[in-house]
Amino acid sequence: MLDIRYSRWLYAIFLMPILLLPFHSVAGSKWRELSNDNIHDPDGSAIDVLQQPAEALSKLPQDTSGNMVNWVKALEEGAINPRTNLWPETKVKIRNNDLFLENTGEMPVVRFPHRAHTLWLDCKNCHEKYFISKEGANPITMMKILQGNYCGRCHGAVAFPLTECDRCHSVPRNKLEQIKAKSRK
């Protein structure tokens, strides 16, 4: 019998409209012209002064979804160099470990990289309000994520979209122990 909770096809159907939207909106160019993005006023006097997204973003490491930039790569490669803090008293804290979230049914295990997140974010952006800082203490499910909780607070909003299953579900179960051991080094 089909176990609804663990059906990837259920999520695929659920996500189909979201999945097709980007194809619709980026048809032609990867990035919409400002005059055609449904945000800027095409008749406004500033429209010719503003930089087009394609001009700025096409120079960065490319991605296949969201706003088509691989931001983690852009940062690691030094293609961008954002200010780390606005106030000098702010301490920047990087945490390097990976965590493996294994309640993924038939899907590959989720690897959560602390490093890729703390390069952008403060611990307080996630702890303790959205994630208890204790391994296994958070009852995360895919449905809750799709409803905008846990990872879904950012992914699908300001970080790569939830249609990119494999970027989170990146660890095949038969390689789990091997990859865990490697990440501890």
Peptide bond into 128 cis (omega under 30): yes
CB of 140 to ligand HEC, least distance (A): 4
Cβ atoms of residues 62 and 68 within 8 Å: yes
CB of 60 to ligand HEC, least distance (A): 12
**Terminal Cα distance for the chain, rounded:** 42
What proportions of the chain, in percent to the nearest 5, are helix, strand and coil? Answer: 35, 10, 55
Q: Rank residues 58 and 125 by Cβ distance to ligand HEC and give the closer one.
A: 125
In order, the DSSP letters of 90-141 are PPP-----EEEE---TTSPBEEEEHHHHHTT--GGGTTTTTS-SSTT-S---
100 burial (CB, 10 Å; 0-12 / 13-18 / 19+) is middle
Contact set with ligand HEC (CB under 6 A): 5-6, 8, 11, 15, 71-72, 93, 95, 97, 99, 101-105, 107, 110, 112-114, 116-118, 120-121, 123, 125-127, 130-131, 133-138, 140-143, 145, 150-151, 153-155, 158-160, 162-165, 167-169
CB of 178 to ligand HEC, least distance (A): 18
CB of 103 to ligand HEC, least distance (A): 3
CB of 142 to ligand HEC, least distance (A): 3
Q: Rank residues 50 and 115 by Cβ distance to ligand HEC and give the closer one.
A: 115
Q: Rank residues 55 and 135 by Cβ distance to ligand HEC and give the closer one.
A: 135
